[in-house]
Amino acid sequence: MHWQPPSVAPILTMIYFINYLLNNGVPQETIILILMLPIIATIIAFSRQIIGIKTFGIYTPLIITFVFLAIDIRYGIIVFITVLLAGSLVRIILKRFRFLYLPRMAILVIIVALIILLMFGEAAYSQRTEFIGTSIFPILIMIILVEKFISAQIEKGARTAILLTIETLIIAIICYIVVRLEFLRSFVLAKPGWVIAGSIVANILLGKWTGLRLFEFIRFKDVIKYVELPEKK
């Protein structure tokens, strides 16, 4: 029998806990996804602090990744874009009537719901069974996104909102690809403690990082060229 001393660092004992969960009927997919959370969160933090990709916070790209996992990514992106386009269009139409904020958002949500219903209709007509079988939660999440997107449009202007959305989408797709990596899936199950400890360490380092972001290098590149280095004495 394999015996490991229980005094080894707690990060190693995590594995027993995971096994305990598996043996008691918690689905493996659920555990993998939960253990992927620290990795996705770290990717999002990394792309903000080191690269400079701005997303709607950390929660939004994370949840979109999960939506993509729940419904096929192709449908996910199509639904995402349709819903956002519809939302923006409705906002532009509603703008001239000068409604108050919440009723305006309510009208928006109603119309988005209608459009999603129509999309289901289309899917039923052309027999897209994977899409028809989608549960309500990914769809609800899409509606949350519409609110975020539209309020960003109102507050920060269309340009910023569109950029934010595109960047959020890109990050979500990257995270989706990462989560689907086979070797990573078996790694998180085999070394759950390392995943969590590693993510925490990575984020502590990221949290103290004061260097220029990649996008800032690009933004300042012309100016940096003009600057003269102070002469050494």
Interface contacts to another protein, rule CB under 8 A: 49, 52, 98, 100-102, 151, 154-157, 160, 208-213, 216-217, 219-227, 229
182 or 231: whose CB is closer to another protein?
231
- What amino acid is encoded at 8 in this protein? V
Shortest separation between residue 139's beta carbon and another protein, angstroms:
24
Min separation Cβ 84 and another protein, Å: 19
Instruction: Name the residue nearer to another protein (CB basis): 182 or 222.
Output: 222
The nearer residue to another protein, 124 or 205, going by C-beta atoms, is 205
Q: Check: CB of residue 188 under 8 Å from CB of residue 32.
A: yes
Residue 26 or 214 having the CB closest to another protein: 214
Cα–chain-centroid distance for residue 67? 9
What dihedral angle (degrees, nearest 10) is formed by the CA atoms of 158, 162, 168, 172? 140
In the complex, what is the shortest distance from the CB of residue 34 to another protein, in angstroms, rounded to a whole number?
29
Identity of the residue, 20 or 215, whose beta carbon is nearer to another protein in the bound complex: 215
Closest approach, Cβ 226 to another protein, in A, equals 5
Signed CA dihedral, 102, 103, 106, 111: sign only: negative
Within 8 A by CB and 6+ apart from 224, the residues are: 217
Residue with tokens 């386009």: 85
For residue 97, the tally of other CB atoms under 10 A from its CB is 8
For residue 163, the minimal CB distance to another protein (Å) is 11
State which residue, 21 or 206, has the beta carbon closest to another protein: 206
Shortest reach from residue 209's CB to another protein, in Å: 6
φ, ψ dihedrals at 133, nearest 5°: -75, 0
User: Which tokens hold the place of 40?
Assistant: 């996705």
Q: Which two tokens stand for residue 173?
A: 């797709």
CB-based burial label for 129 (10 Å; 0-12, 13-18, 19+): exposed
Q: Which is nearer to another protein, 2 or 159 (CB)?
A: 159
CB of 83 to another protein, least distance (A): 21
Question: In b/e form, how buried is each residue of 183-192, taking b as 16+ CB within 10 angstroms?
Answer: ebbeebbebb
Both tokens of 223, joined, read: 């100016």
